[in-house]
Amino acid sequence: MDRDQPIGVFDSGVGGLSILRALRRALPREDFVYFSDAGHAPYGEKAEQFVSDRSLAIAVDLLEQHRIKALVVACNTATAAAVHLLRTRHTHLPVVGVEPALKPAAALTKTGHVAVLATRGTLSSAKFQLLRQSLSDQASFVTIPCDGLAAAIEGDDQDLIRRLCARYTREVCCFGTGPGEIDTLVLGCTHYPFAADIFSELLGPDIQLVETGEPVARQTRRMLEAQGLLNAGGRGEVRWQTTGSADALKAAAARWLSI
C-alpha cells in the first residue's frame, strides 16, 4: 500500500460524517472516500446478517474502486456485526471500528451512573454486551434503544429529532449530579452527535455528553503511523459515494462539515 492512497470511511448514511469530521481534524493531510449506504439505511433496525453482508460488499467496492489504504467502519451497528469479518477477509488492510464510548464515560462519571442511547442492533449485539460487562465494576449503565432517531437525523427532520430526543431522555429518567443520578450520556450511534445541541438543551450543562469520533481518529492515526502509511503531503480531499441520493449526501456534508 502507498501512503498517498485514501482512507475509506463508511456508514449506513450520514451519521458517519461525525467520525469523518474528527478524522479530518486529526489527519488534515489525508484524503478520504466516504461511502454512504443510504439506500439500505438505517442499519440499526436491520438483521445482523444483512448488515455484515453490506459491510463486506462495501469494503470490496472501496478497495477495487478507490484502492483505499485503511478502512474506518463509522457505524456502531456495522462494527458490531462485521468488523471481525472485515479483519479476517482483508488481513493486509488496517480496519478501525467504532463502539459506544462506555470506557470514556466510565472514566468521566462522578456519580457512577451512565446512560447509553444507541440503536437496537448495537445494544443487542454480543460485542456491546461484552463491553458493558467488562466495565460493570466501574459504572452502572442504563441502555435505551432509540428507534427512529437515526432516520430522523438522516432526513434532517428537526421537529421529529427534538421529539425523539425528548422521548428517549425521559425514558432514561433521573439525570442529575446527585447520588444515584445519571450524570453522563453516551451518544452511542454516529448519527446522534448531530443532535448534541438538542440533548444539551434538554439535559442542561451539568450532564456530560460522550461520543466516539476523537478516539476513533486517534486510533486511526496510531495504526497508520505503525505501518508507515501517514500521508504528509495530501490535500485533505474527500470523495463521495452513496447508494442513496448524492444531493442529500452533499447537503449533509455542507451542513455538518462545511464542505
Q: Which three cell numbers stand for residue 204?
A: 442542561
For residue 148, what is the enclosing H or E element?
Answer: none
- Helix, strand, or coil (residue 119): coil
Q: Strands of 140-145's sheet, edge to edge?
A: 140-145, 113-118, 184-187, 208-210
Kind of pairing between the strands at 32-36 and 7-11 = parallel
Q: What share of the chain is helix, strand, coil (3-state, %, to 5)?
A: 50, 15, 35
Whether the CB-CB separation of 58 and 10 falls below 8 Å is answered with yes
Q: Which of 146, 165, 173, 189 is catalytic?
A: 189
Catalytic annotation on 75? yes
Q: Which residues pair with 185 in a beta bridge?
A: 115, 209
Distance CA 88, CA 116 (A): 29
Whether the CB-CB separation of 10 and 34 falls below 8 Å is answered with yes
Catalytic annotation on 173? no
- Helix, strand, or coil (residue 139): coil
Distance CA 125, CA 122 (A): 5
Q: Strands of 70-73's sheet, edge to edge?
A: 95-96, 70-73, 7-11, 32-36, 238-242
Residues catalogued as catalytic: 75, 189
